[in-house]
């Protein structure tokens, strides 16, 4: 599997887990993560983040989005 495909699959999984964790739709989750730089973070730090549990990644995303103006 190519690096690009792995990154896409991982990003999709993170968006879905974030949605489940905070009881929102996948669409709402994607928009929130996009607007508050979570998607960008996943792309930039894929090599480090994909080694962590999804619980840790969700907490990283939550903290990052809050620093960028998010309210979750």
Interval 8-56: pLDDT, tens: 999 999 999 999 999 999 999 999 999 999 999 999 999 999 999 999 9
- How many domains is the chain built from? 1
Q: Does 72 map to a domain?
A: no
Tokens of 21: 């964790």
Q: Does 26 map to a domain?
A: yes
Interval 49-58: pLDDT, tens: 999 999 999 9
Structural domain for 31, as ranges: 3-67
Q: Does 12 map to a domain?
A: yes
37: left (phi > 0), else alpha (psi -120 to 50), else beta?
A: left
pTM metric for this prediction = 0.94
DSSP letters spanning 13-68: HHHHHHHHHTT--HHHHHHHHHHTTHHHHHHHTHHHHTTS-HHHHHHHHHHHHHHT
Q: Does 23 map to a domain?
A: yes
Q: At what angle do helices 3-21 and 54-67 cross, to 10 degrees?
A: 80
């Amino acid at each position: 599997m190519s690096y690009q495909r792995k990154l896409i699959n991982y990003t999709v999984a993170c968006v879905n887990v974030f949605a489940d964790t905070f009881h929102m739709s996948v669409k709402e989750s994607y928009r929130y993560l996009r607007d508050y730089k979570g998607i960008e973070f996943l792309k930039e730090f894929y090599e480090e983040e994909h080694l962590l549990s999804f619980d840790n990644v969700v907490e990283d995303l939550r903290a990052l989005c809050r620093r960028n103006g998010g309210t979750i």
